[in-house]
Structure 1
């Protein structure tokens, strides 16, 4: 199965844990992508007010403002054309967390620990703004 990945995606990684930041950044690098970093929901909102991002990899549990509240505010503040694609990233997969994430306006949901193939598949669903792409078969030679 070929997965097409837009290599020009502007990504914001919202993650407060330094180890998880490094793991996600390394996986993105292996996929030919890079991300800016925010460590809580307030920083996410600030970053989005200064630059447009195609996708936010949103940790659900962060200090000061969690990913649920940050997503709620993003969906209220930005219109649909300027609003980023938001992918929930969390280790907490029980108790209706997935449904809560999708109900507040997140577009997708992946669980920790991150898996490169799952991450690539989730990123491939983001609406492409530029058609510079890579298929899975080509991606394997990037590693």
Structure 2
């Protein structure tokens, strides 16, 4: 979810190259609605966005689902100080990627998500 059309398009192109079919929201409220409707495995969440911001949207998703690993929520933000990273993780995000988003970092985060969220073998 990102409130910038340019950032959404760049993210879409990267995700499609990696074999994903992304859906997008333009603000926190739409992100919450799409999460309830689609129940995605992964959410890329901008932090500073309107109605509510990404931190609050993540808190609401975690409260509604009660699951810490699904959906896997990755903060994608231009603000990447240690304090901001910690705030994202405390809100319930699983990873933090800095803008401008790099394909290698995105792919590494997705690999980590698959590794952590994959059901264990019996």
TM-score, normalising length: structure 2: 0.88
1:47 and 2:34 are equivalent in the alignment = yes
2:47 maps to what in 1? 60
Distance in 1, Cα, partners of 2:33 & 2:90:
23
CA distances 1:47-70 after superposition (whole Å, capped 9, x unpaired): 111121001000001112110000
The structure with more radius of gyration: 1
Q: Indicate if the aligned counterparts of 1:60 and 1:88 stay in contact, CA closer than 8 A.
A: yes
Q: CA RMSD in A?
A: 1.6
Q: State the shift of 1:104 in Å.
A: 1.1
3-state SS of paired residue (2:44):
strand
1:105 aligns with 2:107: no
**Structure 1: where are the runs of 5+ without partners?**
1-13, 130-143
- Matched residues, number: 116
Q: Distance in 1 between matches of 2:68 and 2:105?
A: 26
More helix by share: 2
| Inter-partner Cα distance in structure 2 for 1:82 and 1:100 | 17
Q: How does 1:84-95 map to 2 (within 5 A)?
A: 84-94=71-81
Distance 2:59 2:68 in 1: 16
The alignment status of 1:115 with 2:99, answered yes or no, reads no
Measured in 2, the distance between the counterparts of 1:81 and 1:20 equals 26
Structure showing greater relative contact order (alpha-carbon pairs closer than 8 Å, 6 or more residues apart): 1
- Structure 1 runs of 4+ aligned residues shifted over 3 Å read none
